[in-house]
Amino acid sequence: MSVTLTALPLAVGGPLYAREMHLGRRPGRVMLVAPLLCLLAAGTGCGKSVVVGTVGHAGSQSVGTNMTTVIASASSVPPPAHTTQRAAVPAATPTAPSSGAPPRMAPGSGAPLPTRPAIVQSPIPFGAKRKAEMVNYALRHYGLDTYRLIEPHVIVIHYTETPDFQSTFNTFAPDVPDSELHELPNTCAHFVIDTDGTIHQLVPLGIMCRHTVGLNWTAIGVEHVGYSDAEVLDRPRQMNASLHLVRWLRCRFHIPVADVIGHNESLSSPYHHENVPALRTQTHSDFNHADMQVYRARLRASGHC
Ligand SMILES: [Zn+2]
């Protein structure tokens, strides 16, 4: 599809981003807005493509330190599942299975630790060819010689800009170059949450997915079927399933609530790293900071780890 680039200076940065800018980076003005369907805008996940013009993208040095630390400590084996999978179900997460086991409590919180939510396995093809392409992508963009997602530090929240799960699956499944960046492998997300709260897992957690430029090396991608932040935030079943899944994931991988971010917040993550200069300020419009403040408040309220 054609892409319209519009010079549209928008004031961003400042207070909206300041809270989580651990490195003191500050996005400049939004210089280009390229309307693209989220899932068709492959290579970067979803939401409309946004390129933020920055003055001195200084974060990469410190981010490099993060990556070095992670790589030095990482094993080739994905982190083991947290031992709390059989704990009781939080009251606000109706999709969780009931085990009958007494609840384990989060230290100091008085809240039960999260169980693994009900997850429908809907795997997309991710064979040797796609894995090899993922290695090449990781080498180009991150300098990492692996397709494996090792000890993820970030969870990125997206919406799909598609009407249902099946169309989302059909977008991710074929391994074709994406329409936005024209790279292989095709984009994907680890999870897609349907409007009725059904959680689908498309890719194992030990494999990188292309859903967020700059963060795919360390981020789990969670897509929500829908067309806007507000639409997803206002759907109770979809939202409860999302909070349950993300709480379970972040507790399993010891990810702070602050590192559960919206796609639109990607540039302010301390883990953002991108070796391709043209992509260092690329992000999408889905799940902006204001809406993620709502999401994170709900996530905190759902219980500690
Ligand atoms: Zn996205």
CA nearest to 47, candidates 213, 197, 276: 213
The per-residue pLDDT for range 174-209, each reduced to its tens digit, is: 999 998 899 999 999 999 999 999 999 999 999 999
The per-residue pLDDT for 17 is 27
The per-residue pLDDT for 107 is 55
The per-residue pLDDT for 70 is 42
Q: Ligand 1: distance of its center to the CA of 126 in Å?
A: 20
CA nearest to 48, candidates 240, 286, 259: 286
Q: Does residue 30 have a pLDDT over 70?
A: no
Phi, psi of 65 (to 5 degrees): -65, -45
What's the CA gap between 93 and 246, in Å, rounded? Answer: 11
Q: Ligand 1: distance of its center to the CA of 180 in Å?
A: 13
Q: Ligand 1: distance of its center to the CA of 286 in Å?
A: 5
Q: Ligand 1: distance of its center to the CA of 33 in Å?
A: 15
The per-residue pLDDT for 93 is 33
Q: Ligand 1: distance of its center to the CA of 224 in Å?
A: 9
Tokens 């790279």 locate to 183
The per-residue pLDDT for range 219-247, each reduced to its tens digit, is: 999 999 999 999 999 999 999 999 999 99
* Cα angle 264-270-272, degrees, rounded to a multiple of 5: 60
What percent of the chain shows pLDDT beyond 70? 64
Mean of the pLDDT values across residues 49-53? 64
Mean predicted lDDT score pLDDT of the chain: 76
Q: Does residue 142 have a pLDDT over 70?
A: yes
Q: Ligand 1: distance of its center to the CA of 45 in Å?
A: 4
Q: Ligand 1: distance of its center to the CA of 32 in Å?
A: 17
Asked if 203 and 216 count as a contact pair (C-beta separation under 8 A), the reply is no
The per-residue pLDDT for 140 is 97
Q: Ligand 1: distance of its center to the CA of 98 in Å?
A: 32
Q: Ligand 1: distance of its center to the CA of 47 in Å?
A: 5
Residues with CB under 5 A from ligand 1 (ion): 45-47, 158, 263, 284, 286
Q: Does residue 132 have a pLDDT over 60?
A: yes
The per-residue pLDDT for 110 is 60
Q: Does residue 37 have a pLDDT over 90?
A: no
Q: Ligand 1: distance of its center to the CA of 301 in Å?
A: 24
Q: Ligand 1: distance of its center to the CA of 106 in Å?
A: 31
Q: Ligand 1: distance of its center to the CA of 211 in Å?
A: 6
Q: Ligand 1: distance of its center to the CA of 212 in Å?
A: 7
SS (H, E, C) the chain: CCCCCEEEEECCCCHHHHCCCCCCCCCCCEEEEECCCCCCCCCCCCCCEEEECCCCCCHHHHHHHHHHHHHHHCCCCCCCCCCCCCCCCCCCCCCCCCCCCCCCECCCCCCECCCCCCCEECCCCCCHHHHHHHHHHHHHHHCCCCCECCCCCEEEEEECCCCCHHHHHHHHCCCCCCCCCCCCCCCCCCEEECCCCCEEECCCCCECCCCCCCCCCCEEEEEECCCCHHHHHCCHHHHHHHHHHHHHHHHHHCCCHHHEEEHHHHHHCCCCCCCCHHHCCEEECCCCHHHHHHHHHHHHHCCCC
Of the candidate ranges 1-10, 48-57, 137-146, 148-157, the one whose mean pLDDT is the lowest: 1-10
Q: Ligand 1: distance of its center to the CA of 72 in Å?
A: 29
What's the CA gap between 46 and 285, in Å, rounded? Answer: 8
Q: Ligand 1: distance of its center to the CA of 264 in Å?
A: 7
The per-residue pLDDT for 114 is 86
Domains and CATH numbers, the chain: 6-56+98-301 (3.40.80.10)
Mean of the pLDDT values across residues 274-294? 97
Q: Ligand 1: distance of its center to the CA of 108 in Å?
A: 34
Q: How many CB atoms lie within 10 A of CB 5?
A: 12
Measured in residues, the chain has a length of 305
Q: Read off the pTM.
A: 0.73
Identity of the amino acid at 170: N
Q: Ligand 1: distance of its center to the CA of 113 in Å?
A: 28
Of the candidate ranges 37-41, 198-202, 286-290, the one whose mean pLDDT is the lowest: 37-41
